[in-house]
DNA sequence: TTAACTTCCGATCGGTCGTTCGCTATTGTC
DNA sequence: GACAATAGCGAACGACCGATCGGAAGTTAA
């Protein structure tokens, strides 16, 4: 049995269904990396195909359309982001505690990301690419992501206010707005200006915002 | 004399030197508008030529290279921004007064801009387009612009601290960092999320930052 | 073993990209 | 009025774009 399976996967069965899943996986993975540098619009079938050593048609066959590929890359990037930022803090106590945990993860994510994805935050790039365009599936997906994250911030902010962890009268949506701006500034400072003090500046701003 | 000049410019002398300056002007102007939507990388010679009713080669002849055109568009956008945001506040008293004036102009600029340039802040777009790239003339120019603006903010912040208009111990560079993030968040909220409350949220954050 | 399916490739499509070249029409200069 | 300089055009270039097609190679289920 075990021997048979080993024999079967000996010579890179390029046309097996199981292998197709892994091929698609490789494509999405590479797409996220490329898109973090060139943007979602900067993704090109030809370049991806060359990078992965396959044909354009073979690659596009997995998605049918470039737009579907963009959506797949965006979703995968969202998963990576969630796993890095939201998941580690999920177990923390809701409210200010969890909020602080998320914020710290977010900072280190943007720091670490610089090594993994040299182009910086893919979402920041995506926002700018699509914010001026007419509506479309990708633009909608990007906006939906940001609204989701903002909502999560607001939830914990509301809990914190109700629990008295933040001054009464604090407007959760106001603080969430400022938080998001803070992180966009952080990303820009890291990526464009190579400012090493930016993470600590963000932390200082956070203590001012969240105490 | 006056009569002669009038006669001379009667029939759109397409090859006059004076007219060439205006042609170049039209190109740059249109480039700024397009780039605010599509980004500096999204500028294409063919599209610009079509928009302006001229040939690709005729258009490119004014610049020689797309990169030169990008730099020209960036510089022009910088002039527009300076005229809209920095110039009106230039006469104000240095320190907190001028700083507040600049910040308010900045907000209304981002609001008004939505009508003039539907793509939002060209610089925000440019930052994201080039921040992950290897060094180059355009990337350098973008970074230089942001450093210049940050420096201007810091100058007034320093004056304000020294004059006692801001609490002693206030770190000008820290506040400048937070200000820039705030405006990036504002731009995103306006452009992507069409958030009408964003300007007022920014103003509230400003009073928290600058008193 | 056969038939249906899937993966993937190679070739090709119509377009667009930035750029170059040769040319004409017009200008400014002597 | 001759002559260099310039603006702008039209055509063409090589490269790449996303997408489509038919078919070869292989897998799966019957």
Kindly report the average pLDDT of chain B as a whole number: 90
Question: Tens of pLDDT along A91-135?
Answer: 999 999 999 999 999 999 999 987 777 778 899 999 999 988 889
> A210 pLDDT band (50/70/90 cuts)?
very high
Q: B196-200 long-range contacts, Cβ below 8 Å, gap at least 24?
A: B198/A177, B199/B107, B199/B108, B199/B110, B199/B111
CA distance A84 to A81: 5
Which residues in chain B (14-43) have CB-CB distances under 8 A to chain A? 36-39, 41
Residue A181: predicted pLDDT: 97
Length of chain B: 211
pLDDT at B153: 98
Between CA A13 and C1' C3 the distance (Å) reads 21
Best of A43, A128, A174, A206 to substitute, by most chain B Cβ atoms within 10 angstroms, is A128
Distance CA A176, CA A73 (A): 26
DSSP-derived secondary structure letter, B85 = I
How confident is the model over A182-195, as a mean pLDDT? 95
Model pLDDT, residue B14: 64
Distance CA A7, CA A94 (A): 51
CB atoms within 10 A of CB B63: 19
Reading the block at residue A156, the tokens are 């914990």
pLDDT for residue B187? 94
Window 152-181 of A: residues touching B by CB (8 A cutoff) are: 173-174, 177-178, 180-181
Q: What is the pLDDT of residue A165?
A: 98
- Chain B residues whose CB is inside 8 A of the A132 CB are 36-38, 118-120, 125, 191
Q: State whether the beta carbon of B17 lies below 7 angstroms from any atom of strand D.
A: yes
Please enumerate in sequence order all residues whose Cβ is within 8 A of that of A200, keeping only pairs 6 or more positions apart, or say none: none
Reduced 3-state DSSP string for chain A: CHHHHHHHCCCCCCCCHHHHHHHHHHHHHHHHHHHHHHCCCCCCHHHHHHHHCCCHHHHHCCCCCHHHHHHHHHHHHHHHHHHHHHHHHCCCCCCHHHHHHHHHHHHHHHHHHHHHCCCCCHHHHHHHHHCCCCCCHHHHHHHHHHHHHHHHHHHHHHHHHHCCCCCCCCCHHHHHHHHHHHHHHHHHHHHCCCCCCHHHHHHHHHHHHHC
Test B37 with A133 for CB contact under 8 angstroms.
yes
Among the listed residues A209, A199, A181, the one whose alpha carbon sits nearest the alpha carbon of residue A104: A199
* Per-residue pLDDT reduced to its tens digit, A34-65: 999 999 999 999 999 999 999 999 999 999 99
Tokens 């998001």 — which residue? A180
B149 touching chain A per CB within 8 A: no
Rg (CA), chain B: 20
């Amino acid at each position: 049995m075990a021997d048979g399976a080993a024999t079967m996967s000996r010579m890179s069965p390029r046309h097996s269904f199981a292998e197709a899943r892994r091929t698609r996986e490789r494509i999405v993975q590479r797409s996220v990396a490329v898109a973090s540098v060139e943007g979602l619009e900067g993704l090109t079938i030809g370049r991806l195909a060359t990078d992965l050593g396959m044909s354009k048609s073979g690659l596009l066959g997995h998605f049918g359309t470039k737009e579907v590929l963009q959506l797949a890359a965006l979703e995968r990037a969202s998963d990576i982001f969630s796993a890095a930022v939201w998941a580690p803090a999920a177990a923390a106590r809701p409210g200010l505690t969890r909020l602080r945990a998320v914020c710290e993860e977010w900072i280190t994510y943007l720091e670490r990301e610089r090594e993994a994805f040299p182009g910086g935050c893919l979402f920041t790039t995506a926002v700018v690419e699509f914010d001026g365009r007419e509506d479309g599936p990708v633009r909608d997906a990007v906006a939906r992501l940001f609204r989701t994250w903002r909502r999560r911030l607001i939830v914990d902010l509301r809990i914190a206010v109700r629990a008295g962890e933040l001054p009464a009268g604090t407007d959760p949506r106001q603080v969430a707005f400022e938080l998001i701006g803070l992180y966009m500034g952080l990303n820009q400072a890291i990526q464009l200006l190579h400012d090493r003090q930016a993470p600590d500046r963000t932390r200082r701003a956070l203590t001012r915002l969240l105490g």
